[in-house]
Amino acid sequence: MSNVVRIAVDAMGGDGSPKKVIDGIIHNHTLNKDNFFQIFGDEELIKPLIEKKLNPNFFKIVHTKNSVKSTDSPLEAAKKGKNTSMWLSIESVKKKESDIVISAGNTGALLVIAKLNLKMIESIDKPALSALWPNKKGMSVVLDLGANIECNSKNLTDFSIMGASLYKSLYPNENPKVALLNIGSEELKGNETIKETFQILSDKKLEFDFKGYIEGNELMNGEVNVIVSDGFTGNVALKTAEGTANFITQELKKTLGGNFIGKISSLLNFSNLSKFKKRLDPRLYNGAIFIGLDSPVVKSHGGTDYFGFSNSLNVCNRIVKGSLIEKIKNNI
């Protein structure tokens, strides 16, 4: 059983829960038998969705009728007490009853409750929100995506080390190549914080390749695979990338389905269009990670479906098996 990854699941967070969460668990189990799911939520709603569909040796339901709502502020969520599904799932990681926790619920509440329950890794001041983005050559880790609006050079240096550790835990056979998101590639470009971080990373002996600066138009070219910024800039970049991907797919669908010639073209290019659509499918990259805490916390997109949630469970498995926390502690 040492190979089993124990995943604490907040079953009540996000749109369409708990059904989409339970369907995601069932789908994930068809792909990976290494996960054991500790499911936190309303047993009356959860049990009919999972019994007879998943072997009881692979899950346990921890009953609570209380949950954090999407409309709750982080403070309101914390004040609800210690018996919400989100709090209990995080607490199970704190008690070492689970290896990792995942929720599709309220992002702000998840960060606050995680910070109330879990300690920071020693010498790290702030946790960062990171995620996977596709690039021309594979995947990139991008952070911070909104947990910290203001950052100093120490924070950005920590994010670089944590991002490289995350990349290595997910892709153990590849070498992390780290760059700072900036308004230009020249050393003199950017604010003082960025320039200070550049100098620190240039002078420091590191377990990754530091590639200097990267501009927004180069994020997807694959020359680097760990992209670091403050939370304000990172969140704007994330929303811009998501909006652009949605615009492209919607316009392509409209163009190819709008007239007879377009429909013929789409039929002739069906295979290529399917590959293109799959490459931009956000469900394949679902699962943001709070890193900097002494236990891993994964945030699934609240609006994803069961397939996207299943993919975020894959991320959980890879993070634990890749020994993310140990890598950060060793590298920091």
Residue 309 token pair: 């949630």
Residue 199 token pair: 């100098």
List of E strands, the chain = 5-10, 35-41, 59-63, 100-103, 128-135, 138-143, 177-181, 209-214, 226-228, 288-291, 297-299
Split at pLDDT 50, 70, 90, the class of 274 is: low
CATH of domain 125-291: 3.40.718.10
pLDDT at 255: 65
Q: Let me know: does 287 contact 131? Beta carbons within 8 Å.
A: yes
pLDDT at 120: 93
- Does residue 263 carry a pLDDT above 60? no
Three-class SS state of 273: helix
Rounded Cα gap, residues 108 and 125, in angstroms: 18
Which residue ranges make up each domain of the chain? 1-120+293-322, 125-291
Q: Let me know: does 325 contact 298? Beta carbons within 8 Å.
A: no
Average pLDDT, the chain: 88
**Span 1-120+293-322 CATH architecture:** 3-Layer(aba) Sandwich (3.40)
Q: Let me know: does 102 contact 298? Beta carbons within 8 Å.
A: yes
pLDDT single digits (tens) 42-88: 999 999 999 989 999 999 999 999 999 989 898 888 888 789 999 99
Rounded Cα gap, residues 287 and 141, in angstroms: 11
pLDDT single digits (tens) 93-115: 999 999 999 999 998 999 999 99
- Does residue 253 carry a pLDDT above 80? no
pLDDT single digits (tens) 25-40: 999 999 999 999 999 9
pTM reported for the whole predicted model: 0.86
pLDDT at 79: 86
